[in-house]
A = this chain, B = another copy of it.
Amino acid sequence: MPTSHFAATPQPPYYAVIFTSCRTEADAGYGETAARMEELARAVPGYLGIESARGADGFGITVSYWSSESAIAEWKRHLEHQAAQARGKREWYAHFEIRVAKVERAHSGPPPVHDQNVSGT
């Protein structure tokens, strides 16, 4: 199981940027840019991790995690990120929604050794 898909976030509180999007069929440069943005984001102080999924129908959700609002603001100001966002709006996304949220509590399951007594949601 690719558990590396999960972000190893610390105890709350921290911040989440929830980006939901519907892709166009334009694909040129998209994969390379997405990989580059993840690489750049990792270098921003306060970056905590990212989780991403996209279905075959083109609808996707990416959640990035940050230690503070100021870390998010720094990432937003990054010039190469701004250029990628502009291109995303022109070419890659038919529509998107961005929500900035403060994570207040978190839990997980099941543990690596399968245990039916995991505490609940």
Q: How big is chain A's contact interface, by range?
A: 35 or more
A55 engages B58 (CB within 8 Å): no
Determine the chain B residues whose CB is within 8 A of the CB of A52 once the complex forms: 61
| B51 pairs with A22, CB closer than 8 A | no
Interface segment among A27-35, A39-47, A92-100: the answer is A92-100
Residues of B within 8 A of A98 (CB): 106-108, 121
A82 and B102 CA atoms in complex are apart in Å by 26
Contact A51 B110 (CB under 8 A): no
How many identical chains are in the complex? Answer: 2
Chain A 8-52 interface mask (CB, 8 Å, partner B; 1/0)? 010010001010101010000000000000000000000000011
A90-B102 contact in complex given A53-B54, A108-B96, C-beta closer than 8 Å:
no
Q: How far is the CA of A5 from the CA of B22 in the complex (A)?
A: 8
* Whole-angstrom CA separation of A51 from B4 in the bound complex: 22
Q: Which among B7, B63, B85, B97 is the interface contact of A108 at CB below 8 angstroms?
A: B97
Name 19 extra pairs, CB < 8 A, besides A16-B99, A53-B54, A97-B108: A3-B95, A5-B20, A5-B59, A6-B95, A16-B16, A18-B103, A53-B53, A54-B55, A61-B63, A63-B63, A76-B121, A82-B120, A95-B108, A95-B110, A96-B110, A98-B107, A98-B108, A99-B105, A100-B103
